[in-house]
Structure 1
Amino acid sequence: RVPTAANVEYYGHLVEEAATKRKLISAGGRITALGFDDSTPAGQALDSAESVIFNIAEGRITQDFVALKDILKTTWDQIEQIHKDQSVVSGVPSGFNDLDAKTGGFQKSDLIIVAARPGTGKTSLVLNVAQNASIRYKIPVAIFSLEMSEQQLVTRLLCSEASVDSYRLRTGLLKDAEWPRIAQAMGALSEAQIYIDDSPSVSVMEMRTKARRLKSANNLGLIIVDYLQLMQGRNTENRVQEVSDISRSLKSLARELQIPVIACSQLSREPEKRPDHRPVLADLRESGCLTGDTPVYLPDLGTYRPISELVDQAGLRVLALNPETWKMEPRPVLNAFPTGRKPVYRLTTKLGRTVRATANHKFLTIDGWRRLDELVPGTRLALPRRLAGPFEQTMTNDELALLGHLIGDGCTLPRHVQQYTTVDLGIAETVAHLATRVFGGTVTPRINRERRWYQVYLSATGPLMHGVRNPVAKWLDNLGVFGLRSYEKFVPERVFAQPSFQIAHFLQHLWSTDGCINFSAGVRAHPNIYYATSSLRLARDVQSLLIRLEVNARLVRVSQGLKGRDQFHVTVSGREDMDRFLSDIGGLGASKLIHVAAIADHMSPRLSNTNRDVVPREVWRQVAVPAMRVVGMTTREMQAALGNRYCGTTLYKQNLGRDRAARLAMAVQSDELRRLASSDVYWDGVKSVVPDGEEDVYDLTVDGLHNFVASNIVVHNSIEQDADVVLFIYRERFYNDNVAEDRRNIAEILIAKHRNGPTGKLELLFIDEQTKFANLDRRRGS
C-alpha cells in the first residue's frame, strides 16, 4: 500500500507486530541463557522465562527508569478520574463502608496483611471481601486456600451470601424459609468470578504462574492467600527467613500484576500475655526485639540514641544495609514501639561489639538472615565497617583537642581544682595553650613540675563565688562530662556530631593520654596500638568513633587481679586498620611520634595478610563457582589467574581477604564478588551468646530496606515491612466471656499500618453462626 495518512493505522499495526517479534527474539536469547546457567535452579529459571513472555504479552517490557513527566501524566489521569467519580474508593472495594473510607479500597500493587490469633475470623473476613468484590463490583478474585478445602470455602461463601446458619447447612437441618435464600445465593455465586486453588503446599513460584495466567485470561483484580505461614518458600533450614522471603515475593507479585494481594497471617501468642489483648505490629513481626538501652545509629546526627527514646519520634533516619550493593544507606524510621517484657540474650562478637536481643531476633550472615538462637561461636555476622556522619563542624579543633586531654588525664571533680596530669612537658604546654585559646583570659593555666610528672592547673582568672564557676568546669558540665570518676567517663554526644576529620583530631589528643602507640623491636618485632580505660562506656565510645574513620578495633576486658578495677583495651590491629590509624589519627608527643615512624617502617615492606577482615569462605561455592561456570573457567584456570599453585577444592575452605576477593572477582568476572570485596561490611565472628535476664524490649520499622544498625551490628526488620496495609482483627468476646451484651458481636478492625493513608480503628458486626462480617448499623448507637 501507498504510505499515506489514510493508511496510518495499518502501518502502526505493522510496526507493532515487528516490535513484538523483536522482543520475542530478544526474550528467546535471554531464556536460552537461563537454560545454560547452571547456577540458577530450574524452577527459578522457569519462573523468570515465564515472566519475560508474560511481560511481552502484557505489552510492557521491564525498563530501568521512567521519565517523571510520563509518571505525572498517569498520576494526573488517575486524579481526574477519582474527582470525576466523586468516590472515596479508588481501589478494589472491600464492601465494608468504614474500611473503604479509611483505605480508599485496596490499591493496585499493594500487599495487605490481615492478621489475628486463630479462631478470630481471618478467613471469614477475606472471604467476605472476595464475595463483595466479585458479586457487587464484578471484580475477578483468585483465592489460594492452603488451610481449607474448596468445598469448605464454598460452604462458607454460601452461608454468608444466603445469611443462613452454617451448622444447619452442614447438618441438613435447614428451615423451609431458608431454601429460597440458598438458591438465590447459589445463583449470585455462580455468576461471580471467584477462582479457588486449594493446593495444600503451594509455593510462591506456582502461585505466580497461576496468577499470571488468570490475569491474562480473566483480567484478575484481586488475590487472596490463606494463610502466609502455610506457604512453601525456597528450601531453607530457617523458617523465619523463609516466611520473610514469601512475604517479599507476594509484594513482588502484587507489583508485577498491578493488583492488590491480601494475605492472612497468624499472630504470635504475645497478645494473650498482655492485659490489653489488642494486637500490635510487633506481634506480627518475625524479627524479634532489642532491649531499650540498645544504641541505634542516626547518621544525620552522627550520634546514637537508645531505641527506647525513639518511640513517638518523627523525622529520624537510620543506616541500613542494601544487600544488592552491600553499601550502607540512610533510611527513615517509620515507627518505633515497645513490644513488652521478654527474656533476652547477650550476643558478643570477636571485635567485642555486643547487643542484647530476644531469641528470635535476626542477624545477617553470608547465608542470609539467622535468628539469634541459631547462631554459634564462629558464625560470621555483618557489621558496618564504616559509618557515615554529618559534615557540619560545630566545635573548634582546639575545643576537641582540650576535651580529649581532659577526658583522658584530667581531674574535673566538684570542689576540686581543675587539673591535668602528664609525664610529657611538651603535652603539658600544649594543654595550657589549648586552654588559653578556648577560654581566653578567663582561665590562667599554670604548669607545675612534680617528681616525675607535670601538673597543669586550669584556674579561673577571676574570683569564684556563689553563681560564678570555673569556666572549664562550666564548659564540661554543659557537655555532660563534669564530675566523673575515671570508671564513669564517656565521650560527649557533641563529639559524635562532628565530621570525621575532627573526630580524628579528638582521638589523636585522647590517645596521647591513656593510649599506647608502641613498636616492640627484636626477633618477634610487632606494633602495639591500643587505648586503655577503666570505663566500659568510654571504651565503647572510642571503638564507635574509630568506625567513623573505618578503623575496626577490638574491645577486650583486661583483668587487673587484685590491683584494681578491670581495664578495657580498644586495640587496633591488621595492616589496613593500623595504616589508616597512623595516617588519619597518628601520635602526639615526642615518644609516640618516634614509635609511629618505627611502626610505619616495619609495615612498609610487608604485604597485608589478615585472617580477621575477610569475606567468608562460603562465597567460593555460592558466588565464585557459579560465575566460573558462566564464563567456562576451570578450577585450575581460576587458581592460576590468582597466582596460586593448584590445590583442588582445598582452596574453598579458606576465607578470602578483601584484596584476594577483588582479584577473584576480576578473574571470574563476577559483579557480586566485586561488590562483596568493596562492601561496607565487616564480617565478624560470633564469640558468645548467653542468657541475660528479662527486660522491656523494643523494635523499629525502617522504610525500604529490612534492617538498621544497632550496637554497631546490622539487625533485621521482617514481614510487616513488606506490607502496605496491616489489618488486625480483635474480638473482645474471644478473651472475655463476661463482655457486655451489646458488644458480644462487635469486631474491631485495627489499621495498624497504612503506607499511604491513615491508621486507626473501626468496628464491624460479626455474625458468628454465619461466619460473616457485616457493616455495623449506626442506628444501634454503637
Structure 2
Amino acid sequence: MEPIHRLTTESGRVLEVNGEHRLYAATYLTTKEARWRSSNGPKIDVLGWTPVAQLAVKSDTGAWMIAVPSRVAPAAMPSDLSVNEAFVLGALVGDGSISSSKATVALTTPAGEFVDAFITAVEAIGDRVTQYETGTRVATWGVRARPENRIGSGRGARNSCRTRVLLRRVGLMGAKSATKFIPDEVFGSSNEALAAFFGGLFAADGHMQIGKPSGPRSRGASQVTLVTVSERLARDVQEALLRFGVNARLRYRKNLRGGLPSMEGKIYSSWEIAVSTASDVLAFAEVIRVPGKQGQLDLLAERARKALIAKPHGGNVKQWRTRHLNADLRWEKIKSVEMVGTDQTIGNAG
C-alpha cells in the first residue's frame, strides 16, 4: 500500500496516481515582472519526467506546470454507431427522461429546430415521436416503436422501441441526471458520430454566451458552456472534446437553490464545462452543429475569427502554452496536489 495523490490542473483535469508516477513537468516564473518582461510570455524551465510527489512540493524556481494532451486521436477501429443514433443519445443525455421505470423514453423541450432534428433522427433509427401533455408549459416528446414494429403490449411493446434498445445497449437506460455519462461506444465512434452526439447534447443543455459589445471591442465573456449535475458527464465531455482539439475548462459550482419553497436554502451542486478561448470556440464551431442554437454559435465563431485576425498567434491563447512541446500537447499550471488515501499499485503489488 502506498499514498495516492490527486493532481488537479487549472482547467479542472484530475489525475490520481502514486507518488512515483512521472509527468512531463516544467516551472515558470510567477512574479508579474518576470513573467511578462518580454512579448514571449513567461520564462519556462523544462525539468522533464518528474515524480508526482515532487510536484506536491513548492518549487524554488517558480510554479509547476505539466504537459497535457491538447488533441487526441480517434479510435483505430471506430464503433458502428450511426450519426442519427449518436445525435439521439446526445439529446437524451442532455435533457431526456431515460429511467428504466418509465414506460416511454422522452425529451422535454420547447418545439423548434432542435425538436425537428430530434424527430428526424429518431425516425431514421426506426421509431416515432409523439407529443403528449404533462401539465407543464414545456412540451414533452415521447419516443415509441412504430406500430408495424410493435410486438405485443406492455414490456414487449417497450422492447420493440429501437431507441430504448440503443440506450440499453450503451448502458444509459435507467441513468438519472446525476449519473449520466458518455458511453464507451460514443467515445469510440467516428468523428462524424461524436460531433453529432455533441450537437444533440449542446442543443438540449448547452448555452451560447455572447458578451455584449461596448465601443470598438466586445465586453463580457463569449463562450460555449454546458452545466450538469453529473461530474462523470462533465469530465467525459472535457475529455471527448479533445478529439476535435477543443480544450475546455471544468469548474465546480456550489450554489444555494432558490425558486420553489421546498428548494429554498438547499445546496445545488453542478459542474460547468466552458469553451472560451477564440481558437477553441472556432474549433468547436467548425465540426459541431447545434440545432436551435446554430445562429448564436455562428456569431461566436465570427467573433473568434476576428480575435484570431487581430491576434494571429492564437487570439487569447498564449503562445507559451506549446513552447518546448511536441504537437498536440500544451502546458497547464498545477492547481493542487493532495493526498487522497492509500492503495495498492502495480509498482508495489505482490
Q: TM-score, normalised by structure 2?
A: 0.78
Query: What letter matches 1:600 in structure 2?
Result: A
Q: 284, 287, 301: which is aligned to 1:600? A: 301
Are residue 494 (structure 1) and residue 189 (structure 2) matched? no
User: How much does 1:465 deviate?
Assistant: 3.6
Q: Label 1:401 to 1:359 Cα distance change in 2 as closer, same or farther (>3 A).
A: same
Query: What letter matches 2:342 in structure 1?
Result: E
Query: What letter matches 1:539 in structure 2?
Result: A
Query: What letter matches 1:580 in structure 2?
Result: A
1:691 is paired with a residue of what secondary structure? Answer: strand
Q: 351, 354, 359: which is aligned to 2:14? A: 354
Deviations 1:393-420 (A, max 9, x none): 5111111111111111110112312111
2:338 is paired with a residue of what secondary structure? Answer: strand
Name the counterpart of 1:698: 346
Which structure 2 residues correspond to residues 182-331 of structure 1 after superposition, within 5 A?
none
The 8 Å contact of residues 95 and 108 in structure 2, kept in 1 or not, is answered as yes
Name the counterpart of 1:767: none
User: How much does 1:538 deviate?
Assistant: 0.6
Are residue 531 (structure 1) and residue 191 (structure 2) matched? no
CA distance in 2, matches of 1:400, 1:486: 18
Query: What letter matches 2:224 in structure 1?
Result: I
The 8 Å contact of residues 7 and 336 in structure 2, kept in 1 or not, is answered as yes
Name the counterpart of 1:568: 271
Are residue 469 (structure 1) and residue 155 (structure 2) matched? no
CA distance in 2, matches of 1:477, 1:361: 37
Deviations 1:67-86 (A, max 9, x none): xxxxxxxxxxxxxxxxxxxx
The 8 Å contact of residues 346 and 689 in structure 1, kept in 2 or not, is answered as yes
Name the counterpart of 2:70: 385
1:561 is paired with a residue of what secondary structure? Answer: strand
Are residue 426 (structure 1) and residue 113 (structure 2) matched? yes
Query: What letter matches 2:158 in structure 1?
Result: R
Name the counterpart of 1:444: 128
| Aligned-residue RMSD, C-alpha | 2.6
Deviations 1:569-611 (A, max 9, x none): 111121111110111114321xx22212322332333234769
Name the counterpart of 1:363: 23
Query: What letter matches 2:18 in structure 1?
Result: T
Name the counterpart of 1:454: 139
CA distance in 2, matches of 1:598, 1:466: 46
Query: What letter matches 2:105 in structure 1?
Result: Q
Query: What letter matches 2:75 in structure 1?
Result: P
Q: 77, 82, 91: which is aligned to 1:396? A: 82
CA distance in 2, matches of 1:423, 1:413: 21
Q: Which has the higher strand share?
A: 2
CA distance in 2, matches of 1:603, 1:679: 22
The 8 Å contact of residues 404 and 509 in structure 1, kept in 2 or not, is answered as yes
Mark the runs of 5 or more structure 1 residues left unpaired by the alignment.
Answer: 1-340, 616-655, 662-672, 701-782
Q: 686, 693, 696: which is aligned to 2:334? A: 686
Query: What letter matches 2:241 in structure 1?
Result: L
The 8 Å contact of residues 79 and 185 in structure 2, kept in 1 or not, is answered as no
Query: What letter matches 1:605 in structure 2?
Result: K
Name the counterpart of 2:34: none
Are residue 480 (structure 1) and residue 168 (structure 2) matched? no
User: How much does 1:464 deviate?
Assistant: 2.9
The 8 Å contact of residues 231 and 271 in structure 2, kept in 1 or not, is answered as yes
The 8 Å contact of residues 428 and 455 in structure 1, kept in 2 or not, is answered as no
Name the counterpart of 1:375: 55
1:475 is paired with a residue of what secondary structure? Answer: helix
Q: Which has the higher helix share?
A: 1
CA distance in 2, matches of 1:699, 1:588: 49
CA distance in 2, matches of 1:387, 1:489: 23
Deviations 1:222-255 (A, max 9, x none): xxxxxxxxxxxxxxxxxxxxxxxxxxxxxxxxxx
Which structure 2 residues correspond to residues 621-660 of structure 1 after superposition, within 5 A?
656=320
1:434 is paired with a residue of what secondary structure? Answer: helix
CA distance in 1, matches of 2:120, 2:157: 23
The 8 Å contact of residues 614 and 682 in structure 1, kept in 2 or not, is answered as no
User: How much does 1:696 deviate?
Assistant: 2.7
Q: Label 1:612 to 1:596 Cα distance change in 2 as closer, same or farther (>3 A).
A: closer
The 8 Å contact of residues 223 and 281 in structure 2, kept in 1 or not, is answered as no
1:543 is paired with a residue of what secondary structure? Answer: helix
The 8 Å contact of residues 611 and 657 in structure 1, kept in 2 or not, is answered as no
CA distance in 1, matches of 2:285, 2:210: 13
1:560 is paired with a residue of what secondary structure? Answer: strand
2:282 is paired with a residue of what secondary structure? Answer: helix
1:688 is paired with a residue of what secondary structure? Answer: strand
Mark the runs of 5 or more structure 2 residues left unpaired by the alignment.
Answer: 26-45, 258-265
Q: Which has the larger radius of gyration?
A: 1
The 8 Å contact of residues 279 and 314 in structure 2, kept in 1 or not, is answered as no
Name the counterpart of 1:775: none
User: How much does 1:559 deviate?
Assistant: 1.1
Are residue 415 (structure 1) and residue 75 (structure 2) matched? no
Q: 503, 517, 520: which is aligned to 2:211? A: 520
The 8 Å contact of residues 432 and 446 in structure 1, kept in 2 or not, is answered as no
Q: 285, 292, 295: which is aligned to 1:582? A: 285
Comparing 566-575 with 606-615, greater Cα deviation is found at: 606-615
2:256 is paired with a residue of what secondary structure? Answer: coil
Name the counterpart of 1:555: 250
User: How much does 1:546 deviate?
Assistant: 0.4
Q: Label 1:525 to 1:557 Cα distance change in 2 as closer, same or farther (>3 A).
A: closer
User: How much does 1:444 deviate?
Assistant: 3.4
CA distance in 1, matches of 2:93, 2:68: 28
1:604 is paired with a residue of what secondary structure? Answer: helix
The 8 Å contact of residues 479 and 494 in structure 1, kept in 2 or not, is answered as yes
User: How much does 1:369 deviate?
Assistant: 1.4
Query: What letter matches 2:245 in structure 1?
Result: E
Q: Label 1:529 to 1:466 Cα distance change in 2 as closer, same or farther (>3 A).
A: closer
CA distance in 2, matches of 1:699, 1:476: 38
Q: Label 1:467 to 1:601 Cα distance change in 2 as closer, same or farther (>3 A).
A: closer
1:406 is paired with a residue of what secondary structure? Answer: helix
Query: What letter matches 1:679 in structure 2?
Result: A
Query: What letter matches 1:486 in structure 2?
Result: S
Q: Percent identity?
A: 26
CA distance in 2, matches of 1:507, 1:605: 25
CA distance in 2, matches of 1:611, 1:356: 32
Q: Label 1:466 to 1:550 Cα distance change in 2 as closer, same or farther (>3 A).
A: closer
User: How much does 1:530 deviate?
Assistant: 1.3
User: How much does 1:479 deviate?
Assistant: 1.0
